[in-house]
Amino acid sequence: MKQQTGYFVMNAAGTCKNLEDVINLCKVDDLSAILLGSVTMLKRAGNSGDVYNSTSRLGTLNSLGMNNAGFDHYASILPAMVNLAHTNEKKFGISVAAIDGIEEYIQMAEKSIRLGVDFIELNGGCPNVWDSGKQHRILTFDPISCQQLFSGMQKCMPNDANVYFKVSPISDPAYIQDLALVINEYPVITGITATNTFPNGHGRDSTGRKLISVGKGLAGVSGLSLKYISKGQVLQWHDYLLPEKEIIAAGGIDCGQDILDYGANGAVKFQIGTALFDKGLSIFGTVLAEAEQLRESYA
């Protein structure tokens, strides 16, 4: 899964949910890969009400809750999706997330590889899953479960599989080092996606109404607000991961300077999510054109 020339850019999980989305993303010449998901074992309606709030000044809060049609549905159309991507000279990946135990990650990843996907993203960072008023634990912060997941993936994945672990932002630098050491133990983990949204931001409008109506108003912080955080995360992960472990940057990318910044900090691939929601498919061409212009001006 090595890009030969240019920048390897893809959509972030949450922005591609169905065959129509895949078809539309295939039309984007600047895209190197398409990422479906995040997909859970069972169908999820996602969160309802006010679940997304984006501003140019403060960034974005989202609590979408991983709405998706369930893995069995996607398994039935994955070969068609993969074929569409490959016909348009793009890689195809799936982001999977477990709700009821790490075995779900393994089952979905193993079958997805058999169905022809080029890479797997294990979503270990979504903060927006609520059941009966209780928030699910974020896998990134459960080192024992992380190790169990990586061990299970090591046993079931083929040697040439491309598997990435998507992490939450981690404020404790020592924990980044500790988790990196665990990831380094498992050759099956190709690298990481850094980062998911920052958990449990909160906001109100001028009337005092919560911007997000689900989960006490708590939501993942993304977009503009996440840029400096994620760039710092990428830099720290690059210090501790083995050189062969790839870093996919995610977090507020909406201009060419972000591509250069993340690349300078150690990222080799890039995901765009919030800016795709807010600005549409043209964001890919805009960002890459700006990155090329900046790179040429620095030469």
pLDDT tens column, 217-251: 999 999 999 999 999 999 999 999 999 999 999 99
Find how far residue 274's CA is from the centre of its chain.
11
Domain ranges in the chain are: 8-43+67-199+221-298
pTM of the model: 0.96
What confidence score (pLDDT) does residue 42 get? 97
Ramachandran category for residue 166: left, alpha or beta (phi over 0 → left; psi -120 to 50 → alpha): beta
What is the predicted pLDDT for the residue at 44? 96
Question: CA-to-CA distance for 257 and 128, rounded, in angstroms?
Answer: 29
**What CATH number does domain 8-43+67-199+221-298 carry, 3.10.270.10, 3.20.20.140, 3.20.20.70, 2.40.110.20?**
3.20.20.70
Kindly calculate the radius of gyration of the chain based on its CA atoms and give it in whole angstroms: 18
Average pLDDT for 51-61: 93
Percent residues over pLDDT 90 in the chain: 91
Q: Per residue in 65-123, pLDDT tens?
A: 999 999 999 999 999 999 999 999 999 999 999 999 999 999 999 999 999 999 999 99
For residue 165, what are the β-bridge partners?
A: 122, 192
